[in-house]
Structure 1
């Protein structure tokens, strides 16, 4: 079998499963990702159907995504904390490989914590500890931007160690 190298922006199915549980999976991108997974050799019926959908049909995408993930052998995280941990792992990898900026990571953390209903276990995760720090980036008497960036990178490194 030929080894295919999918688009670097295509997340792994486990990450998409976490995003789905958290309600942050961008349905407009899911069919493209399904097509990339097909190109990687994962030919399954629900995955083919998902790859053929228009991403604007969010209801059908959301209905079919768990089935396609199951066909890939990917189970949905059973808890919000598990989903957040996976999403945070992916954010940490993106930040530390310079594919995402520190402020953007902080904004994503705020969104995930909010969607996790401010669960203390999510906030206690290394990246979860960034929750509520987005305002500090405005420079109104908060720490210097470079210090904020260093804090985000340190939390990212801790998140990857905890994974």
Structure 2
């Protein structure tokens, strides 16, 4: 949204809320007309039709707009902030769940790095310790490979700090 649109949306929301509150509560269909004159940011706003239904309506069963509330376990709208039954904050729940998933993913990555680091240290130590048992033409390769494994372990330890 552009910077000036927030004020326009706020005024329009307030006006619509006033009109809805003034409707009779007789259970019948009523029509609200709000005329918007002129244009905003070179866009002709024209006329809009909004359908206002009394009470809370459940989302279509099985649609992609439905979700089960984690608190009351009743179906509610997927993209609304609050559950229509118990007012549970879905956005906060989703945020906490995403943070928990990120923390779990970070722990898994740290464990993988630890395994690679321990394996690199074992290869480096084992290579340097056992290079004398290899034929002379391979001892240079074993020493180089061991040094590379030690360097990898060192880099992992530096990255984890």
**Range of TM-score over shorter length:** under 0.3
Q: Considering only CA atoms, is the larger Rg found in Structure 1 or Structure 2?
A: 2
- Structure number with the higher strand fraction is 2
- Structure number with the higher helix fraction is 1
**TM-score after normalising by structure 2:** 0.22
Q: Larger relative contact order (C-alpha < 8 A, sep ≥ 6)? A: 1
**TM-score after normalising by structure 1:** 0.22
